[in-house]
Amino acid sequence: MEQWRLLLFLFVAFVGFFGEVDAKPRRILFDTDVNSDDIYALIYFLKQNRSEIEIEAISISANAFSNAGHAVNHIYDVLHMMGRDDISVGVGGEGGILPNGTILANVGGYLPLIEQDMSTTGNCRYRQAIYRGEGGLLSVDTNYGLRRKFLPMGDRHYIPLRQPTAQNVMINAISAGPITVFLSGSHTNLAIFLMTHPHLKQNIEHIYVMGGGVRSKSPFGCCPEHSATSCQPSQFCGDTGNLYTGQASNPYAEFNIFTDPFAAYQVFHSGIPLTLVPLDATNTIPINKDFFTAFQQHRSTYEAEYCFQMLNIIRDTWFDDSFYESYFMWDSFAAGVAVSSMKNQHCEDENEFAEMEYMNLTVVTSNKPHGLYDGSNPFFDSRATPKFGLQKNGVHSGHVQTELHDPFCRVDGIEKGICQDGYTKEEDGAGVRVLVATKAKLNPDKQSILDRKFYISFLNALNQPQQSAQFNRTSQLPYHQEILRKPSYKHKVFGKPVVFDMDMSVGDLVALIYLLKVPVEEINIKGILVNGNGWANAATIDIVYDVLHMMGRDDIPVGLGSFTALGTPFLNCKYVNAIPHGSGGLIDSDTLFGLAHNLQQSPRRYRHFVSATKFSFHALACNFPKCHYLDSGTLLKMIDNHLPWKFGR
């Protein structure tokens, strides 16, 4: 009898134990720079069966494709839409790195490790590859104007001093138990975590990375398959990387890795199992016309609608007419590969959506010859001992790319640049074993117009009724109407006409409100000019619109000017790099110290300019106040000097 009971007990314990292990969802830490395709990836994850896959926390990668204040509020809004206000979100932090390499608590990740010292102020050595205006940070920060139009808003938003930092959120999520990390931005946050908490490394079961290019050959700038014989491929056709604006000097790097190569090196070489979804794979899964059309026909949930509208604007504003050949599933495909491999726990290298191969990889952080000490490398230059205990003459000790047009990278007489910073390179000796997605798998259903297997999974996930949006803007704000508030000026004699030029810092907004309080008979504000190169980023123009709306002055035109200082290259952060990214700096002015959330939204907002006819550069060259874009001079310079795509056309 007793024996029988013991057996029963053992049996129950056994089933309980293994049952529980099986039933436990995979916990995910999602680190993102909140670009559009990061949102696709996030929503794809959130749509998974929560008994299997559970997003636990989100940390914001603040030195890549978006600015921290806008990015974190975008994430809060997406989570609110999805009814997931429970997921913790971390951004920024005021910690620094001492000159001797000691990393203090809460380094905010606003800067790549090579530029990080004791403050949140620093250079944009790598980030200068990302344009600060339309098509770059401005578009991503506002999600092409769509975020404010579409997303419902909850109570959560950035609040100074109360906002959890990126490191705090990581530490809490990772110390709570086994976890998987998904990286879709720069690797700065995770690298800092690994360097400061090596004892918690064991909790990270796996790292999935969208980034890099190994054997990839860029289709960008190449001639279409059935092109006329007159087509000349650009010098960028077939490059490994995809930096576009930086490709002339560095044909090897991809953005996510390039934004902090040293951090990526730390992550790759951490000893934690890593799966990489590089350009090799993503180049094989374009958003082609058939997929686009299928998406257009399948958007039965609010979140699918959000994703589709995003894609639609991106397509309509794509810089040339080859959107269907040059816009790929990047982070969303990586999310698919990650989910498939997590569900297939017993054999992680079998993947439903991608062909996989093990490769020995490293990340190039400096260029040969090593031990050069030419003033480009703060880890070594004018230091008795290298920072972080790095080896003299080691792989980190060469020339580090200083700017996009770094002369070191352009050897006279050679057409291709030679810099490799951020290249995920195959290397047998010093490389680490990484599972690499090499190609998107074809859809076995040959009847389907969708020829990649992941296309189907993506559309199914977004459209399934489970884990759907709990809030919809129309139902959340049933009485909200977008009405412009304009005063009546009957019988008024206007005073001095004034144009107010401001940089959207809090002091400037206070000054604006003061001026608006003066009767129009005395001061008549005819227009407001703002720049994206001062104490706030360009996307903060929406706060100016909201303040005007609050004051009943939707009649005042607002013009957005330059994103960089006059006389500096258009990809640059000269002068603006003196402004801190963190507390009291950009994150606070971009959110009006958290107060912007409580302003009633103006019907006026930043809108990505879509030409009524076919999109072209020419159509963009409009002037204030007709549309809010660059002045034509800058635009022409842009076209002439920098952009590689002129070569292919």
Footprint of ligand NAG on this chain (CB under 6 A)? 49, 51-52, 98, 100, 102, 302, 305, 358-360, 428, 466, 472, 474-475
Cβ–Cβ < 8 Å for 354, 442: no
What's the closest the beta carbon of residue 272 comes to ligand NAG, in angstroms?
A: 17
What's the closest the beta carbon of residue 99 comes to ligand NAG, in angstroms?
A: 8
Nearer to ligand NAG, 101 or 238 (CB): 101
Nearer to ligand NAG, 290 or 305 (CB): 305
Bridge-based pairing of strands 53-60 and 88-90 is: parallel
Nearer to ligand NAG, 126 or 471 (CB): 471
What's the closest the beta carbon of residue 52 comes to ligand NAG, in angstroms?
A: 5
What's the closest the beta carbon of residue 449 comes to ligand NAG, in angstroms?
A: 25
Return the amino acid letter for 595. Answer: L
Cβ–Cβ < 8 Å for 556, 549: no
What's the closest the beta carbon of residue 606 comes to ligand NAG, in angstroms?
A: 22
Nearer to ligand NAG, 80 or 549 (CB): 80
For residues 178 and 195, what is the distance between their CA atoms, to the nearest angstrom?
18
Cα 585 → chain centroid:
20
Nearer to ligand NAG, 123 or 312 (CB): 312
What's the closest the beta carbon of residue 486 comes to ligand NAG, in angstroms?
A: 29
Helix (H) or strand (E) holding 255: helix 255-258
Q: Torsions phi, psi of 324, nearest 5? A: -65, -20
- 3-class secondary-structure state, position 71: helix
- 359 forms beta bridges with 434
Nearer to ligand NAG, 92 or 212 (CB): 212
Nearer to ligand NAG, 199 or 614 (CB): 199
Token duo for residue 112: 């790549």
What's the closest the beta carbon of residue 472 comes to ligand NAG, in angstroms?
A: 4
What's the closest the beta carbon of residue 100 comes to ligand NAG, in angstroms?
A: 4
Q: How far is CA 389 from CA 99, 367, 380, 396, in A?
A: 12, 19, 10, 11
What's the closest the beta carbon of residue 304 comes to ligand NAG, in angstroms?
A: 9
Q: Cβ–Cβ contacts within 10 Å for residue 355, how many? A: 15
What's the closest the beta carbon of residue 166 comes to ligand NAG, in angstroms?
A: 23
- 3-class secondary-structure state, position 358: strand
Token duo for residue 492: 């008024």
Token duo for residue 646: 């002129």
Nearer to ligand NAG, 239 or 303 (CB): 303
- 32 forms beta bridges with 60
Residue 215's nearest CA partner among 434, 397, 404 is 434
Nearer to ligand NAG, 3 or 100 (CB): 100
Nearer to ligand NAG, 19 or 224 (CB): 19
- 367 forms beta bridges with 399
What's the closest the beta carbon of residue 101 comes to ligand NAG, in angstroms?
A: 6
- 3-class secondary-structure state, position 206: strand
What's the closest the beta carbon of residue 379 comes to ligand NAG, in angstroms?
A: 15
Nearer to ligand NAG, 343 or 410 (CB): 343
What's the closest the beta carbon of residue 35 comes to ligand NAG, in angstroms?
A: 23
Cβ–Cβ < 8 Å for 83, 151: no
Cβ–Cβ < 8 Å for 108, 166: yes
Residue 583's nearest CA partner among 60, 48, 55, 91 is 91
What's the closest the beta carbon of residue 432 comes to ligand NAG, in angstroms?
A: 9
Cα four-point dihedral sign 520, 524, 525, 526: positive
For residues 538 and 600, what is the distance between their CA atoms, to the nearest angstrom?
20
Cβ–Cβ < 8 Å for 326, 286: yes
DSSP-derived secondary structure letter, 567: T
Nearer to ligand NAG, 234 or 340 (CB): 340
Nearer to ligand NAG, 479 or 514 (CB): 479
DSSP-derived secondary structure letter, 222: P
Q: Write b or e for each residue in 602-613: b if 16 or more Cβ atoms lie within 10 A of its Cβ, otherwise e.
A: bebbbebbeeee
Bridge-based pairing of strands 354-363 and 432-440 is: antiparallel
Cβ–Cβ < 8 Å for 590, 539: yes
Nearer to ligand NAG, 358 or 489 (CB): 358
For residues 27 and 113, what is the distance between their CA atoms, to the nearest angstrom?
27
